[in-house]
Chain A
Amino acid sequence: MSAPVLPAAAPAPTGFRGLGTRLARWNHRRTLLIVVFALLALLPVLYPSPYTLATVLFYVPWYLAMAQSWNISGGFSGQLSFGHWGLLGVGAYTSAIFAVTYGWNVVSAMAMAAVVTFLLGLLIGYVGSALRGPYFAIATLAAAALIQLVVLNWKSVTLGSLGFPIFYILLSPSDLYYGALALGAVATAMVYLISRSRIGLAFEAVRENEDLATASGIYARGYKALAFGLSGAIMGPVGGLYAFASHYIDPTSAFNLLYNLQIILMVVVGGRGKVLGPIVAAVVFAWVFEVALTSFNVYNYLITGVVIFAAVLLVPRGIFGFRGIPKVLQF
Chain B
Amino acid sequence: MGFNPFLVALIGGLGVGSLYVVFALGMNLLIGVMRVINFTHGYLMLLGSYLTYFLWEWYGLNPLLSLLVVMPALFAVGVLFHFLMVQPVLKRPYFEDTTLLLTFAGLLILDNIFVKLWTDNQRQVPTIYFNTPVIFSTPWGDAVLSQVVLIGAGLAAAATLTLGLFLRFTWTGRAMRAASQDLLAARLLGIPATRLYAISFGISGVLAGIAGVVVAMEFLFYPEFGFSYLLKAFGVIMMGGLGSLVGTIAGGLTLGVAESLTAWVYNGAYGTWANGAAYVAILVALAVRALLGKSR
Checking B104, B231, B272, B273 against A145 with a beta-carbon cut-off of 8 angstroms, the contacting residue is: B231
- In the complex, the answer to whether A264 meets B283 with C-beta atoms within 8 Å is no
With the chains together, A139 CA to B37 CA distance in Å?
Answer: 13
- In the complex, the answer to whether A130 meets B294 with C-beta atoms within 8 Å is yes
With the chains together, A1 CA to B259 CA distance in Å?
Answer: 76
**Which residues of A (115-140) have their CB < 8 Å from a CB of B?**
127-135, 137-139
Asked if B96 CB lies within 8 Å of chain A CBs, one says yes
- In the complex, the answer to whether A149 meets B276 with C-beta atoms within 8 Å is yes
Knowing A268-B101, A298-B116, A308-B104 touch, does A130 contact B286 (C-beta < 8 A)?
Answer: yes
- In the complex, the answer to whether B296 meets A302 with C-beta atoms within 8 Å is no
- In the complex, the answer to whether A305 meets B112 with C-beta atoms within 8 Å is yes
- In the complex, the answer to whether A132 meets B235 with C-beta atoms within 8 Å is no
Q: Report the minimum CB–CB distance from A45 to chain B (whole Å).
A: 35
- In the complex, the answer to whether A145 meets B296 with C-beta atoms within 8 Å is no
- In the complex, the answer to whether B37 meets A138 with C-beta atoms within 8 Å is yes
- In the complex, the answer to whether A128 meets B286 with C-beta atoms within 8 Å is yes
Kindly state the interface size class of chain A when it binds its partner: 35 or more
Please, which residues of chain A bring their CB within 8 A of the CB of B195? Answer: none
- In the complex, the answer to whether A146 meets B108 with C-beta atoms within 8 Å is no
- In the complex, the answer to whether B96 meets A309 with C-beta atoms within 8 Å is no
Please, which residues of chain A bring their CB within 8 A of the CB of B88? Answer: 313
**Which residues of B (31-51) have their CB < 8 Å from a CB of A?**
35, 37
Asked if A312 CB lies within 8 Å of chain B CBs, one says yes
Checking B104, B112, B290 against A302 with a beta-carbon cut-off of 8 angstroms, the contacting residue is: B112
Knowing A142-B235, A298-B116 touch, does A309 contact B109 (C-beta < 8 A)?
Answer: yes
Knowing A134-B97, A149-B279 touch, does A309 contact B105 (C-beta < 8 A)?
Answer: yes
Of the listed residues A133, A135, A145, A306, the one surrounded by the most CB atoms of chain B closer than 10 A to its CB is: A135
- In the complex, the answer to whether B282 meets A139 with C-beta atoms within 8 Å is yes
Knowing A127-B290, A130-B295, A142-B235 touch, does A312 contact B109 (C-beta < 8 A)?
Answer: no
- In the complex, the answer to whether A312 meets B101 with C-beta atoms within 8 Å is yes
**Which residues of A (306-320) have their CB < 8 Å from a CB of B?**
306, 308-309, 312-313, 316
- In the complex, the answer to whether B111 meets A301 with C-beta atoms within 8 Å is yes
Checking B37, B106, B111, B289 against A309 with a beta-carbon cut-off of 8 angstroms, the contacting residue is: B106
Checking A82, A142, A304 against B108 with a beta-carbon cut-off of 8 angstroms, the contacting residue is: A304
Q: Report the minimum CB–CB distance from A112 to chain B (whole Å).
A: 25
- In the complex, the answer to whether A149 meets B275 with C-beta atoms within 8 Å is yes
Q: Report the minimum CB–CB distance from B83 to chain A (whole Å).
A: 13
Knowing A142-B231, A302-B113, A309-B109 touch, does A133 contact B286 (C-beta < 8 A)?
Answer: no
Residue of A nearest to B282 (CB): A142
Knowing A145-B279, A146-B276 touch, does A80 contact B105 (C-beta < 8 A)?
Answer: no
Please, which residues of chain A bring their CB within 8 A of the CB of B280? Answer: 146
Q: Report the minimum CB–CB distance from A155 to chain B (whole Å).
A: 11
Please, which residues of chain A bring their CB within 8 A of the CB of B94? Answer: 78, 133
With the chains together, A142 CA to B88 CA distance in Å?
Answer: 29
Asked if A47 CB lies within 8 Å of chain B CBs, one says no
Asked if B20 CB lies within 8 Å of chain A CBs, one says no
Q: Report the minimum CB–CB distance from B171 to chain A (whole Å).
A: 29
Residue of A nearest to B85 (CB): A309
Checking A80, A143, A152 against B283 with a beta-carbon cut-off of 8 angstroms, the contacting residue is: A143
Please, which residues of chain B bring their CB within 8 A of the CB of A127? Answer: 283, 286-287, 290
- In the complex, the answer to whether B283 meets A313 with C-beta atoms within 8 Å is no
- In the complex, the answer to whether B107 meets A305 with C-beta atoms within 8 Å is yes
Residues of A within 8 A of B (CB): 78, 80, 82, 127-135, 137-139, 141-143, 145-146, 149, 152-153, 210, 261, 264, 268, 298-302, 304-306, 308-309, 312-313, 316
Known A130-B289, A313-B89; 13 more pairs at CB < 8 Å: A78-B97, A127-B290, A130-B293, A131-B289, A132-B296, A134-B37, A139-B283, A146-B279, A298-B115, A301-B108, A305-B108, A306-B109, A316-B92
Question: Could you list 20 A-B pairs, sorted by A, with CB under 8 Å?
Answer: A80-B101, A127-B287, A132-B295, A132-B296, A133-B97, A134-B35, A134-B37, A137-B37, A138-B37, A142-B234, A142-B286, A152-B272, A210-B295, A261-B108, A298-B115, A301-B108, A301-B111, A302-B112, A306-B109, A309-B106
Smallest CB-CB A-B distances: 8 pairs: A305-B108, A130-B290, A302-B112, A305-B109, A142-B282, A146-B279, A308-B105, A301-B112
